[in-house]
Amino acid sequence: MEDVMEEPSHMEVEQDDELYYRTLEDVKGIIKHAKLDERNLTHITQAIYYPSAEIISDNLKLLELDDHMIKQIHEGKSLFFKGGHNEKVVLCTDEKTYDIKAAEISNSLLLVPELKYAAATSTSPLKSPRTGNNTSLERSLNDSADDDLLMERTLEQKKILKIFHEYFECREIRPRFRKLGDLLQLTRYAGPEHEEFIDRKLLFTFDQLLDTIQCSRKQFLEGLKQYRAMEFEGWMRVLECEYEYRIVNLMVGIISENSWPLDEVEREETINALEGIAPKQIVEGLFDLYTIATEGKENRFTYKEELVARIVAQNILQPGLKFRVDEFLSTWQEAVPEGMKCDEKYLRGLGIFDKEGAVPCIRSLAEDNLPLNIHDRMRLLFKTKSKWTLEEIEPYIECFTTPVLSVSTLMAKHARSLMENGVRYYVTKH
């Protein structure tokens, strides 16, 4: 077996105040006092010593990795820690985001560079040619030959680099996009005539936002699409809602003007038609956000029905206003291009239906404007509406879910459920 000796006590020092290092005689004496047979030990002994005061290792931390993170490292990719002064740090790969939490270790862990394992501490073969198993430790004391006694023991000194009493455990979480939306809203674009009022110090490039937002690069790109952000004159910008609606409405209006089928929209014709009305880069950015290439038709595009329907609904559902459901659905449908259909699911996280009264109504409730704390958010949601189905409330709390924490689990913790006419509703706990 491998022989690893602990550091001698602080009393074992020489007169010149230098640390005492074990000798081969010390090792042989310890083996004898332990009543071990040296012939059953490998031939290299490693004595380990605690780090001296000169060794600085505060920059070393112990981090728990899952299979995804290990794969990223093996592929030569980087892991990134992200977090501002008032933010809890997260760890990001190119694809995922993890919450970091310090956890205590019941037993201290020693980091010893170049420490040898059992197979490397023997000068004789440790593997059986037939089984590949370690056979050196199974030898009988009586089977040892004189050759074993002639093998010289080697003593190596190993110094501990760091002693760990805690490690950082990682838990995968959803990307934290809220800060992205808040930063972009500070400089939302409302047309060239309003640019003089924009504080240029609050503008961010793509790379500056990527370094700031607590999410992976892949998730960051998804977040930019979610907020419909685009690059304009080197800065990442979102459009003021009314301005965006006006430009998109003009863009889709070109469909009927040119009698195009919905799946045969022409990019260059659309951009040229808005020349002088909006900057070309803004129109190009909106076109790329709101359309997809039509399959099987070269250089032809189709508007994303959901995005067009949502920007129209957002323009109708002004905060503080309430609409009869039938009137809203009718107005909404008339406002989108012919051939597109408005579906209630397109209002996810944008507005809520209240069908409890005599006249069913709908009103605005944007998820982006709700508190970031789950307790404050639940309190506001139940103040806005007394009871919710799981499907109704899901868009407003799914940002708090994780791969192991579902919406239903969150509701079980923060609300109580009841059944009415075979439908499960959730109401406030208090």
Are 190 and 104 members of one domain? no
Report the distance separating Cα 27 and Cα 155, nearest Å.
Answer: 8
Whether 39 is in a domain gets the answer: yes
Same domain, 32 and 106: yes
Joined together, the tokens standing for residue 203 give 């503008």
Domain membership of residue 186 (yes or no) is yes
Residue 188 falls inside a structural domain: yes
Q: Is residue 415 part of a domain?
A: no
Does residue 209 fall inside a structural domain?
yes
Residue 399 maps to a domain: no
Q: Beta-carbon neighbour count of residue 303 at 10 Å?
A: 23
Is the same domain home to 157 and 215? Answer: no
Which residues of the chain fall short of a pLDDT of 70? Answer: 1-19, 123-151
Q: Based on the domain organization, do 49 and 168 belong to the same domain? A: yes
How far is 195 from 25, CA to CA, in rounded Å? 83
Whether residues 186 and 214 fall in one domain: yes
Same domain, 164 and 194: no
Domain count, the chain: 2
**Structural domain for 178, as ranges:** 174-238
Instruction: Give the whole-angstrom CA distance, residue 373 versus residue 382.
Output: 14
* 113 within a domain of the structure (yes/no): yes
Residue 168 shares a structural domain with residue 204: no
In terms of domains, do 34 and 95 share one?
A: yes
Q: Report the alpha-carbon angle 186-191-195, nearest 5.
A: 55
Q: Residue 331: inside a domain, yes or no? A: no
179 and 167 co-located in one domain? no
pLDDT of the residue at 124: 62
Same domain (yes/no): 166, 203: no
**Secondary structure of the chain: what % helix, strand, coil (to 5)?**
40, 20, 40
* Contact between 95 and 218 (Cβ < 8 Å): yes
> Do 104 and 184 share a structural domain?
no
Same domain, residue pair 31 and 100? yes
